[in-house]
Structure 1
Amino acid sequence: MSQTIPPILSVLPTRALVDEKFKVLVENLPAGSPVTLHSLHHSEDKDYWEAYAHYISDHRGTVSVAEDLSFGGTYTGIEPMGLLWSMRPVPGSRTGLRLRKMDVRSPMLVNISVYSGHIAEGFREQPPLASVLTERWYMAPGVRRIDIKEKGVRGTLFIPPGPGPFPGLMDMWGGGGGLLEYRSALLASRGYVSLALEYFSPGELQSADLEFKYFEAAFNIVKDHPQVIPDRVGLFGLSLGAVVTMCLAAESTITKPRCCVCVSGSHIFPRGETLSGIHKLMARNSHKARVDENNHHIWRDLNLPITSDLSMKVDVRRINCPMLLVNGHDDQNTPAVESAEDVAQMMHAAGNDHLLTRLHYPDTGHLIEPPYSPHFRATNFIMESTKAKDEMHQKHVILLKWNFSKET
Structure 2
Amino acid sequence: MAQTVRPILSVLPVRALVDEKFKVVVENLPPASPVTLHSLHQSEDKDFWEAYGHYMSDHRGTVSVAEDLSFGGTYTGKEPMGLLWSMRPVPGSRKGLRLRKMDVCSPVLVNVSVYSGHIAEGFREQAPLASALTERWYMAPGVQRIDIREKRVRGTLFIPPGPGPFPGLMDMWGGGGGLLEYRSALLASHGYASLALEYFSPGELRSSDVELNFFETAFSIVKDHPQVIPDKVGIFGLSLGSIVTIYLAAESTIIKPCCCVCVSGNHCFPPGETLRGIHQVLLENFHKVRVDENNHHIWRDMGLALISDPSKKVDVGKINCPVLLVNGLDDQNWPTVESSEDIAQMMRAAGKEHLLTRVQYPGTGHLIEPPYSPHFRATKFAMDSTKEKVILLWGGQTKPHADAQEDSWRKILAFLQQHLYYSTTPKAKM
- Bucket of the pairwise TM-score, normalised by the shorter protein: over 0.9
Write the deviation string for residues 378-403 of structure 1: whole angstroms up to 9, x where unpaired: 10011222xxxxxxx48333333254
Write the deviation string for residues 226-249 of structure 1: whole angstroms up to 9, x where unpaired: 111111000000000001000100
Counterpart secondary structure, 2:136: strand
RMSD, aligned α-carbons: 1.5
Are 2:399 and 1:406 aligned?
no
Deviation of 1:133 after TM superposition, in Å, equals 0.5
Alignment of 1:275-354 (within 5 A): 275-304=275-304, 307=307, 309-354=309-354
Counterpart secondary structure, 1:141: coil
Aligned residues: 397
Deviation of 1:370 after TM superposition, in Å, equals 0.5
Equivalence for 1:38:
38
Equivalence for 1:107:
107
Q: What's the TM-score, normalizing by structure 1?
A: 0.95
Shift in CA distance, 346/3, structure 1 to aligned 2, threshold 3 Å: farther
Distance 1:177 1:305 in 2: 24
Are 2:118 and 1:118 aligned?
yes
Deviation of 1:371 after TM superposition, in Å, equals 0.5
Match of 1:396 among 381, 389, 394: 389
Distance 2:272 2:102 in 1: 33
Shift in CA distance, 402/181, structure 1 to aligned 2, threshold 3 Å: farther
Please tell me whether the aligned partners of residues 238 and 264 of structure 1 are also in contact (alpha carbons under 8 angstroms).
Answer: yes
Are 2:190 and 1:202 aligned?
no
Return the structure number with greater helix share: 2
Equivalence for 1:177:
177
Shift in CA distance, 147/204, structure 1 to aligned 2, threshold 3 Å: farther
Shift in CA distance, 10/238, structure 1 to aligned 2, threshold 3 Å: same
Deviation of 1:205 after TM superposition, in Å, equals 4.3
Alignment of 1:223-302 (within 5 A): 223-302=223-302
Deviation of 1:204 after TM superposition, in Å, equals 5.1
Counterpart secondary structure, 2:188: helix
Amino acid of the structure 2 residue aligned with 1:397? V
Distance 2:52 2:162 in 1: 40
Equivalence for 1:10:
10
Shift in CA distance, 3/25, structure 1 to aligned 2, threshold 3 Å: farther
Alignment of 1:6-85 (within 5 A): 6-85=6-85
Amino acid of the structure 2 residue aligned with 1:46? K
Deviation of 1:310 after TM superposition, in Å, equals 3.1
Deviation of 1:60 after TM superposition, in Å, equals 1.2
Alignment of 1:185-200 (within 5 A): 185-200=185-200
Segment of structure 1 superposing worse, 260-269 or 283-292: 283-292
Segment of structure 1 superposing worse, 21-30 or 398-407: 398-407
Please tell me whether the aligned partners of residues 333 and 392 of structure 2 are also in contact (alpha carbons under 8 angstroms).
Answer: no
Write the deviation string for residues 291-340 of structure 1: whole angstroms up to 9, x where unpaired: 11111000011122564543210110000000000000111111000000
Deviation of 1:269 after TM superposition, in Å, equals 1.7
Write the deviation string for residues 346-400 of structure 1: whole angstroms up to 9, x where unpaired: 0000000000000101100000001000112110011222xxxxxxx48333333
Amino acid of the structure 2 residue aligned with 1:78? K
Amino acid of the structure 2 residue aligned with 1:167? P
Shift in CA distance, 135/82, structure 1 to aligned 2, threshold 3 Å: same
Segment of structure 1 superposing worse, 287-296 or 146-155: 287-296
Deviation of 1:100 after TM superposition, in Å, equals 0.5
Distance 2:393 2:336 in 1: 15
Distance 1:337 1:3 in 2: 61
Please tell me whether the aligned partners of residues 146 and 157 of structure 2 are also in contact (alpha carbons under 8 angstroms).
Answer: yes
Please tell me whether the aligned partners of residues 306 and 338 of structure 1 are also in contact (alpha carbons under 8 angstroms).
Answer: no
Amino acid of the structure 1 residue aligned with 2:392? L
Counterpart secondary structure, 1:341: helix
Amino acid of the structure 2 residue aligned with 1:238? L
Please tell me whether the aligned partners of residues 165 and 228 of structure 2 are also in contact (alpha carbons under 8 angstroms).
Answer: yes
Amino acid of the structure 1 residue aligned with 2:391? I
Distance 1:350 1:221 in 2: 31
Amino acid of the structure 1 residue aligned with 2:205? P
Please tell me whether the aligned partners of residues 379 and 402 of structure 1 are also in contact (alpha carbons under 8 angstroms).
Answer: no
Write the deviation string for residues 23-69 of structure 1: whole angstroms up to 9, x where unpaired: 00011111110000000001000000000110001111111000110
Counterpart secondary structure, 2:147: strand
Amino acid of the structure 2 residue aligned with 1:142? G
Counterpart secondary structure, 1:121: coil
Distance 1:290 1:89 in 2: 26
Please tell me whether the aligned partners of residues 289 and 298 of structure 1 are also in contact (alpha carbons under 8 angstroms).
Answer: yes
Deviation of 1:279 after TM superposition, in Å, equals 2.2
Shift in CA distance, 394/168, structure 1 to aligned 2, threshold 3 Å: closer
Amino acid of the structure 2 residue aligned with 1:400? L
